[in-house]
Structure 1
């Protein structure tokens, strides 16, 4: 029997601490004070009669008991989120909703075509799109706040408990405004002479970029601005001499229009799979099956290599 002393706030706080690996950051996400979230965690551990987390230099780490409890705590939150979404759908005048997470490169390059395809084959499905960095989206996928996520394959530790179906491959580009001085004499080792918009920690492309720069002998970049915002990067790069390191799909439209230009560096080493992520333990809903069909059509129409299993 479930101990009635365990409340929703206990589960929510514990899961958020595990996701952020920090009591301070978890408290900020939940709009709580650090003493309040520490008290909630202590209450949960006292109810369970076991230590769930231990603190270390990196933040917090799960105990064996914590690993077991986290698995079921995440499932509980996901189930609750799905229940809430189901109630919303009942009152949505027959509209069926599908919540899709899209990394910036996908949101800019592919999702407009997917939405157009869905409007044709499934006009009664309401698409909700959330964009953001990889870690943010996959966390919400696990919690049931998103039905699917489309983006780059992340590091192994970020993909645990998720299925991944590759759709196509994409590489990273070094983007500048038209007329940038580096275009006259391209030299990768000179990028540190300008401000560089760099993928932040948690971005799927960051490890690829770091390996690429190390392989080409590029040292520390003195003026580095970390951002994953496509909206910011497009405007700021056009209005400055900044060099933007970003997935090609994010700026495909701007490159085609001539507003932004990729520096002629060979970045094939940064190529990586982009795919569809989902929770593997769930049966595909009718709306998700239609979405996969629309996704396949959009990829074929855009010229990207299609690789979607039925």
Structure 2
């Protein structure tokens, strides 16, 4: 495409929004409904965009449309462009009224149980009119939301980053995972347990293809012990908690969860190599809005208290660890 098209107004922001909406909904009809326009308007704008780019973006089928290989590349850049524009608007709004603003935080299992609630409480005390939105999703979906600007920062377990998107990670604290059971579990009548005996109990385990699942299995492999026979895979903290509290299942949870839940009791068998570094992930090439910067300060304040409590209660935790 001739770059002069960017100056003469042929390629417009609505084209980027249009392509993203069609890809999200997989249908021109549903995209039109979402944008409150008619189907012919969407179809005409899509034809304009494909003519400007000189390639087809979507393949039409009986059940809707699917992105072409050209669309996959275009959509990645479209998310970044729309995200930058959204953030620019938010930044300007906050500068116009310094007492207000909004920030959207993405989170998943780690970080959502203690760090984020404490940070939000601290933030609201200091800036009560700031609107905080929390979005929970899988790490890969949150990464896409970061790029698109739907999420300002992500709180959770830090993992090695893949792909070309420049991300900045800030480690806040490191904590071990602990084995937990219900208070009346039979194993507490058997003295200090060993890993070989624990494998005979039913377990709620992290889902496959996760770092935590790999660390758990490696702990057994180092002792040359086969993993537990009876397993249930689960990523829902509430489901895990209920299963452990009401049955004889065992599970591994972050130390901050294990030590603060009255329905769970920690098994006296530390898994020293099973842990997580909790922190913040942000886009490296995007300037944080004042509200985002304020949320980051709140997270650092909350993390300082968690580091202190971990230091007092377990020998495994250390601040500033790398993922």
Residue 99 of structure 1, CA deviation:
0.8
Query: Given the alignment of the two structures, is residue 238 of structure 1 paired with residue 238 of structure 2, yes or no?
Result: no
Q: Which residue of structure 2 lines up, in the alignment, with residue 212 of structure 1?
A: 219
Query: Given the alignment of the two structures, is residue 136 of structure 1 paired with residue 141 of structure 2, yes or no?
Result: yes
Q: Which residue of structure 2 lines up, in the alignment, with residue 293 of structure 1?
A: 297
Aligned 8 A contact 1:197 1:244 in 2: yes
Structure 1 length-normalised TM: 0.70
Which of structures 1 and 2 has the bigger CA Rg? 2
Determine which of 180, 183, 205 is the counterpart of 2:185: 180
Q: Which residue of structure 2 lines up, in the alignment, with residue 189 of structure 1?
A: 196
Residue 156 of structure 1, CA deviation:
3.0
Aligned 8 A contact 2:91 2:289 in 1: no
For the aligned residue pairs, the C-alpha RMSD in angstroms reads: 4.1
Q: Which runs of 5+ in 1 are unaligned?
A: 17-25, 33-39, 54-61
Q: Distance in 2 between matches of 1:188 and 1:207?
A: 16
Alignment length (residue pairs): 277
Q: Which runs of 5+ in 2 are unaligned?
A: 32-42, 59-67, 311-317
Q: Distance in 2 between matches of 1:260 and 1:145?
A: 36
Aligned 8 A contact 1:194 1:243 in 2: yes
Residue 234 of structure 1, CA deviation:
1.5
Aligned 8 A contact 1:174 1:263 in 2: yes
1:281 counterpart SS class: coil
Aligned 8 A contact 2:183 2:264 in 1: yes
- Structure 1, 279-288 or 243-252: larger mean CA deviation: 243-252
Q: Deviations over 1:42-74 (max 9, x none)?
A: x99986566999xxxxxxxx97x6775354133
Structure 2 length-normalised TM: 0.68
Determine which of 205, 208, 215 is the counterpart of 1:198: 205
Q: Distance in 1 between matches of 2:101 and 2:215?
A: 38
2:128 counterpart SS class: coil
Query: Given the alignment of the two structures, is residue 248 of structure 1 paired with residue 255 of structure 2, yes or no?
Result: yes
